[in-house]
A and B are shown apart, each in its own frame.
Chain A
Amino acid sequence: MNRRRFVMLPLGMLTIAQASRNARGAPYPAVVPGRVLRFPEDEGSHPGFRIEWWYATGWLFDDAKRPLGFQITFFRNRAVDTGGNPSRFAPEQLIVAHAALSDPQRGHLLHEQQIARSGFGLADAASGITDARIGNWFLRAGGDTLRASTAGREFSLDLTLRRTQPPLLHGEQGFSRKGPGPESGSYYYTLPHLAVDGSIVTGGKAIRVSGTAWLDHEWSTAPMESQATGWDWIGINLDDGGALMAFRMRAGSGATLWSGATLRHADGRTQTFAPQQVTWTSVRQWRSTRTDATYPVAWRVAVGDLLLELEPLMDDQEQDARGSTGTVYWEGAITARSGDRIVGRGYLELTGYWRAFRL
């Protein structure tokens, strides 16, 4: 499937990324169907591929049951042609990390970011196990839990995410097609229904929180078709224990180029959906006064027989990453209703609404 997370990739990197080979001439591995994902090995980094991310989102509640949304992402990027530079500073891998907090009482996102080249043990994404870090930020697996910590100026997150379900493979056993052609695709799985415990510090004040999260892990070399200018994506933990991921790639006209979805039912049965089985219908728009971008923040999404009404935790969950990655997008907590009943909570990602997004 498609994915959003590309959003964060620095635009400036793109020209450099044109080269299909990078440092020391090693080519990027191709992303092809049929690869068998192995766990836990494949939870670690795949440094040969051009791009990779671990993307955690979720709903948290404080002691007063007040809802908050959070997002913690680590990107690894091997896009620079270092020309075989033997320097230990050679930018073989770039590590980018973002953290965001959605608090309805605040009305807009809090956002922190880190970017560094790998090396000297200061920034890295390990192979074989989920272990990514920049400075004192990290996302690290240990036993049946993952720990994420992001200490920032505006806010700090320190969360423990406990596995409750096996990995959910998307597409063809973890090979996620990104368009009608064979050339774009990624390896992609999710750890849904992670049980979260931890603390959030804002303004020097720490609060305890708990909730449910969703962790995507995806790696690729060519994850986007040439005509695509953005995408819409959701990842929802359903209250009955099921999980739904759906996306669509959009053309500049707004037309759907490709779409897909994965639904795991409460009983563990998993369904994948072809493009024609997924429909996205915008219900309500919100315009950002900061950037003048207009985002469809409420949706009606149909995946097979399942019809969900999506409503954001708050309208303004626009993320302005121009200061680091050069783009602006919308990434926010949503509730999913079926009829009048809330059936799940998750995250919605909207890219390419500010300006056409090209990977």
Chain B
Amino acid sequence: MAPVALAGYRALVQRALTSCAWQANRGRLLLSVFGVALGVALGVAVHLINGSAINEFTVAARTLSGDANLVVRGPLEGFDENIYPLIARLAGVDVASPALELDIRLPSRRPLHLIAVDAFRALRIQPALFGSEFRQIYALLASDAIVLSHAAAEDLGLREGSRLIAQVGTQSVPLRVIAVLPPEVTAQRVAFADIATAQWRLQRLGLLDRIDIRVAPGADTQDIAAKIAALLPPGVQVSDTDSQSRQAEGMTRAYRVNLNMLALVALFTGSFLVFATQALTILQRRGEIAILRVLGVTRGGVMRILLTESLIIGAVGSALGLVLGFALAWFAVSRFGGDLGAGYFIGMTVHLHQDPAALALYFALGVGAAVAGCVVPAWKAAASDPAPALKAANAIETTASARPHWPGLGLLAATLPLALLPPIHGLPVGGYAAVAVLLAGALWLAPAVAERLLRGLPSPRGAVALIAVQQLRGVNSQLGISISAIVVSFSLMAAMLIMIGSFRGSLEAWLRDILPADAYVRAGGAGQTGFLDAATLRTVAALPAVARIAALRIQEIRLQPGQVPVTLLARDLELANPEALPLLQAGADKLRSNLPPVWISEAAADLYGWSVGSEVNVALGGTNTRYAVAGIWRDYTRQNGTLLIERARYIAATGDTRANDVWVWLAPGHSVETLLEEVNHSLGAAGLVEVRNTASIRKTSLAVFDRTFAVTYLLEAVAVLIGLFGISVGCSSQVLARRAEFGMLRHVGVTRGQIAALLGIEGLLAGAIGITYGLVTGGAISLVLIHVINRQSFHWSMDLHVPVLALVLVSAVLVLAATGTAMASGRRAMTGQPIAAVKEDW
């Protein structure tokens, strides 16, 4: 034969075989495609959502800071306005623009963020915000005027000329909407007012929250910053404007990285699915491959054919994943907001941000995962000797290539030191690595563990069960692959379940500790215009329904320039027994110093390196006071650190006698309802103060928790789906590969029902082994998640709460699914003639 003709013939056979493979394995290939698609979709969705939120935040921050080079900020309650002329007069300061920034509390509405400026100065720094309509600047000088952004007007249903009722303290203050900005000015839900209006109407006389500074051309920004810093009292800091977006990024980075990790895990699972499918498919196609080899296709050629197949799987899956990911991101953003309900970007409208480079990267990751999953099986197939394969084309490799245990054991051993590593740039890199090696070690040892478990199993008496057990014992490598697929998906799912269960359990316990009173009266959150003044506190304390009260002031203070502020809680408390402190480390009694006590949250301890006994500088009212750390407590509400001090000391330092919340212990025989009536009656401000009982606060908190983890639940559901695919792929490929065996069994008189039962038992056993092993692995991973990844990412500890019921349920469902899938694929295999099936082998 002429070489040309031979080549043509070869191509023909090749094409025929490849398309045969497609025909025979359509289901499995589709599953592989879908596995890759899901992984890519999750990655893309998480990336798009995060990117959009951060992008929106950065754009908003940039519009807000305009051409400012530097910004001066202080505590949440503001700083003395007399700093402003000092800065404005500094040589090298081109413009200094003072601002108040606070949240207007609106009765029965979300608070409205307000930025109050001297527009004549602000327009020179932020022309995009204030330069559009000069006429409005003059109208804005009227002492009750307010301008709304388009988004704010839409949300509040207000127009030019409308009245906006703001809650200030426990009073209603009417403001006049003099204009609504066009949508292109800002996408944020925000209001603008004159600084004099805000100082007066919102009761912030004498205070500023921010001074934006534009440095004169040619002046050295760092030099000016140093000169400004020298003018500032403790607790007020100057930083460059970029640090604001950096702070936002830093604040959410751990959260975002964790979500990305979950997406990568999904992609990894998808890639593992491809590996499992390809490994089994190739085992089954050994005959075809042998024919190709005999026809003269080289090993490289075989590799090329198989890798091309996986490339197509990867490309189709990734393309599908991109579309799916976009849809998912769109759904999640419109449903949960840009931070997926985590509460980082409240009040921001997020638009999906396109990022072609990242999309290309995820596409490449998907294709790469598919190809990577195929390399090992393809290489093995190409390397095998065609002669025996030709003889028993559909036979399964029955002897496990003896694999040493030590690499698996080594990987497992590496888990502990990795988990003990400190965070790197605030990220739990060691924790991620620990999970990765733990999983890899578990997978390496999976066949050996399965073998040992099966060997330990007593040989059953029934013929069918006996065959099933023997079959599984015999096809160890195959079993290993099936079980591995289950282990990968199920262990991660179990780990997440345990972690979330532990978090929720700890949160419930914490909520019991942190809310000791019977009811809580609140006029406004931190930085809002609502508050309870001293007179109101006295009124509440004197109500017949009230036995005792404790007032709480929530502040934010800055400890270091450029860092996210920490929360300062100032509360009426008894030194010896501070109520509602879920203390992890106490030490008030051990303190030698006579400094006033501060109780710090775990995050504060982690971020600032403090421990019990540490001396801490707290800047309040423009002066520094030294405090000693008397205890470390658990705070699940704030990630950036919280300090608790006695309210009396706070008042002495600041003169601020306002409170955000007051805790109420009811007098005997009174209920929360009577308290509400009395409060509304005595304050004459129905609807302005909230009165809530402890149970309802707990309920809300847990609802917020569940919403935050909604995305995690979604990822878990996907992991379950992939796990089920894994089982299904394993079963159906086994069944197909064993058609000859079933033919033989039928031939010797075994009924179809018995074969179905045989397969069912095999599925049950494989599923049970995989899931048990997955549970153990997952349990170990959950420990890393709880004690390393979570702790380092979010700076809060939690106690282990294993959600037994949920785990049992999911395990049972998966084992049943494995059994059912095995039986279902068996039915397909038995539709052919037994004789034909047997013949295939001989």
Contact = CB atoms under 8 A, between A and B. Distances in A.
B9 interface: no
A116 B118 CA distance: 8
B509 to A, nearest CB: 48
A293 interface: no
Given A85-B200, A122-B88, A12 B134 contact: yes
B196 A82 contact: yes
B88 A89 contact: no
Nearest to A321: B134
A89 B196 contact: yes
Given A121-B85, A323-B134, A90 B196 contact: yes
Given A87-B200, A87-B205, A90-B196, A122 B138 contact: no
Interface in B119-143: 120-121, 134-139, 141-143
A121 B88 CA distance: 10
B339 interface: no
A323 B120 CA distance: 12
Nearest to A153: B217
Contacts, number: 80
Contacts of A106: none
Nearest to B208: A89
Contacts of B206: 88
Contact of A120 (B84, B120, B197): B84
Nearest to A89: B196
Interface string B89-124: 100000000100000000000000000001011000
Given A117-B118, A121-B85, A122-B85, A12 B200 contact: no
A115 interface: yes
A91 B144 contact: no
Nearest to A151: B216
B199 A89 contact: yes
Interface string A132-165: 0001000000000000000001000000000000
Q: Which of A16, A82, A91, A324 has the most C-beta atoms of chain B within 10 angstroms of its own C-beta? A: A91
Given A115-B120, A116-B121, A120-B88, A13 B205 contact: no
A91 B85 contact: no
B196 A15 contact: no
Contacts of B84: 120
Contacts of A89: 81, 98, 118, 194-196, 199
A135 B118 CA distance: 14
A28 to B, nearest CB: 17
Given A12-B135, A12-B137, A83 B89 contact: no
Contact of A83 (B98, B137, B144, B199): B144
A121 B87 CA distance: 12
Contacts of A322: 134
A11 interface: yes
Contacts of B85: 120-122
Interface in A289-326: 322-326
A100 to B, nearest CB: 19
Contact of B136 (A12, A116, A323): A12
Interface residues of B, number: 28
A91 B89 contact: no
A348 B819 CA distance: 100
Contacts of A90: 143, 196, 200
Contacts of A232: none
A244 B89 CA distance: 41
Nearest to A115: B120
A26 to B, nearest CB: 15
Interface in A1-37: 10-13, 15-16
A86 interface: yes
B159 to A, nearest CB: 19
B134 A85 contact: no
Contacts of B200: 85-87, 90
A142 B138 CA distance: 34
Contacts of B81: 88-89, 120
Contact of B134 (A10, A15, A81, A83): A10
What does DSSP make chain A's interface, helix, strand, loop or mixed? Answer: loop
A80 interface: yes
A15 B141 CA distance: 12
Contacts of A85: 143, 196-197, 199-200
B196 A91 contact: yes
Contacts of A81: 142-143
A12 B139 contact: yes
B120 A117 contact: yes
A91 B121 CA distance: 13
B181 to A, nearest CB: 16
Contact of A326 (B98, B135, B205): B135
A221 to B, nearest CB: 18
A83 B142 CA distance: 8
A66 B136 CA distance: 42
A91 B140 CA distance: 11
Contact of A87 (B120, B142, B196, B217): B196
B134 A16 contact: no
Contact of B139 (A15, A83, A115, A326): A15
A10 B136 CA distance: 11
B563 to A, nearest CB: 29
Contacts of B205: 86-87
B134 A122 contact: no
Interface string A323-351: 11110000000000000000000000000
A80 B145 CA distance: 12
Contact of A324 (B134, B196, B197): B134
A87 B134 contact: no
B533 to A, nearest CB: 18
A120 to B, nearest CB: 4
A97 to B, nearest CB: 12
A95 to B, nearest CB: 10
A80 B137 CA distance: 12
Interface in A70-96: 80-83, 85-91, 94
A81 to B, nearest CB: 7
Contacts of A121: 85, 89
Contact of A116 (B120, B134, B139, B197): B120
A324 B200 CA distance: 27
A337 B195 CA distance: 52
Contacts of A10: 134-135, 138
Interface string A94-123: 100000000000000000000111001110
B134 A326 contact: yes
A116 B81 CA distance: 17
A135 B135 CA distance: 23
A90 B136 CA distance: 17
Contact of B138 (A13, A86, A120, A153): A13
Nearest to B117: A89
B197 A80 contact: no
Interface in B181-203: 194-197, 199-200
Contacts of B143: 81-83, 85, 90
Contacts of B118: 89, 116-117
B119 to A, nearest CB: 10
Contacts of A11: 135
A13 B84 CA distance: 26
A121 B118 CA distance: 15
Nearest to B100: A89
A91 B199 CA distance: 12
Given A87-B205, A91-B196, A122-B85, A80 B142 contact: yes
User: Which 8 pairs of residues, A with B, have the shortest CB-CB distance?
Assistant: A12-B138, A12-B135, A89-B196, A83-B143, A120-B85, A87-B199, A87-B196, A90-B196
Given A86-B200, A91-B196, 8 more contacts: A10-B135, A12-B134, A12-B138, A83-B143, A87-B195, A87-B196, A87-B197, A89-B199
Interface of A: 10-13, 15-16, 80-83, 85-91, 94, 115-117, 120-122, 135, 153, 322-326
Interface of B: 81, 84-85, 88-89, 98, 118, 120-121, 134-139, 141-144, 194-197, 199-200, 205-206, 217
5 contacts: A10-B135, A12-B138, A16-B142, A82-B143, A91-B141
